[in-house]
């Protein structure tokens, strides 16, 4: 059964005739996505320090610190189909994870499609993770306890970053993958069963993919479809979180299963009654708080020193 709060949100958007994202130019989709956060997101929790900065490649970043001292770090990549979203749309999520996990969070404002197509976002996210490690002392973080994470498109980018950094001999501590896109072919069964009626639709999946990817021949590239990577072994422990009424649900589960089959430590949690994007909707969907608390607890556990 769909969560009644999610149902009420969908019904309200229909009543107010909110245009489907796939009917909008990218710039208008970005404006509306940012504007709607005021209706669905809770108040931002206060933190000891929030600082805007830039990486050495010029990517805007926002560093969240819940306290003093040398902290573990989550490098966070926002969702939005590689096309919408920014530091402000995911400010509450990053603050909540920092406060709940007791870690610093570095939010990455990677370049967006269609102005910057694949693999621009991949390059920016990997560069930001490397910047964080290189500047660990200045940022007040522990370079041996760095995780990557993100939701939707950001979960895709986090998975790709984890593989890339493993191959480069720069291992991470953890990966937090929240309803990640893992297969650009969009052939998992949930793309059909959940393809209409739950905010993210088959049309919007195709819209985002069309803006981000240069063409169908690039879909199998593992930097776009990490599920298709030749080697998924020796990756950091992961939490893969999905939503039951999400077109991406099954490819998230497939990725969790593939990580487990390759010998990695993986936890998989599906919020069976939820829709795609729900973690940012804590003002109107109570289970968003439960999901973020689950993510924060997993991060806190992952960052715990060995033997504690």
Q: Which residues are catalytic?
A: 152, 246, 276
DSSP state of 19: P
Residue 178, Cβ neighbours under 10 Å: how many? 28
Give the pairing of strands 60-65 and 104-108: antiparallel
* Helix axis angle, 91-101 to 287-303, nearest 10°: 50
Q: Cα–Cα distances in Å, from 22 out to 8, 86, 87, 122, 179?
A: 22, 19, 22, 23, 20
Which class for 167: exposed (0-12), middle (13-18), buried (19 or more C-beta within 10 A)? exposed
Give which of 48, 97, 82, 39 is closest to 218, Cα–Cα.
Answer: 82
Query: Distance between CA atoms of 23 and 1, rounded to whole angstroms?
Result: 29
Q: State the alpha helices, DSSP H only, in the chain.
A: 4-15, 26-40, 91-101, 120-134, 136-139, 153-167, 190-193, 202-212, 249-261, 287-303
């Amino acid at each position: 059964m769909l969560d009644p709060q999610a149902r009420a949100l969908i019904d309200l958007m229909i009543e107010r005739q909110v245009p489907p994202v796939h009917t909008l130019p990218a710039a208008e989709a970005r404006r509306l996505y940012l504007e709607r956060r005021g209706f669905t997101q809770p108040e931002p929790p206060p933190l000891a320090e929030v600082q805007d900065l830039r990486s050495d490649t010029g990517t805007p970043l926002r560093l969240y610190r819940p306290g003093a001292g040398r902290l573990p770090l989550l490098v966070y990549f926002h969702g939005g189909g590689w096309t919408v979203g920014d530091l402000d749309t995911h400010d509450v999520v990053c603050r909540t994870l920092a406060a709940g996990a007791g870690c610093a969070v570095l939010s990455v404002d990677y370049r967006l499609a269609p102005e910057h197509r694949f693999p621009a976002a991949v390059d920016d996210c990997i560069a930001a993770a490397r910047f964080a490690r290189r500047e660990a002392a200045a940022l007040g973080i522990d370079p041996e306890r760095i995780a990557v994470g993100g939701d939707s498109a950001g979960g895709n980018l986090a998975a790709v970053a984890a593989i890339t950094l493993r191959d480069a001999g720069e291992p991470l501590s953890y990966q937090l993958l929240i309803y990640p896109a893992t297969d650009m072919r969009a052939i998992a069964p949930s793309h059909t069963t959940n393809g209409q009626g739950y905010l993210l639709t088959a049309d919007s999946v195709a819209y985002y993919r069309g803006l981000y990817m240069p063409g169908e021949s690039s879909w199998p590239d593992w930097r776009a479809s990490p599920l298709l990577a030749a080697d998924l072994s020796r990756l950091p422990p992961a939490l893969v979180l999905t939503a039951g009424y999400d077109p991406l649900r099954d490819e998230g589960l497939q990725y969790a299963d593939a990580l487990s089959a390759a010998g990695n430590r993986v936890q998989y949690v599906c919020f069976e009654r939820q829709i795609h994007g729900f973690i940012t909707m804590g003002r109107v969907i109570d289970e968003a708080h439960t999901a973020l608390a689950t993510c924060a607890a997993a991060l806190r556990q992952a960052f715990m020193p060995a033997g504690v």
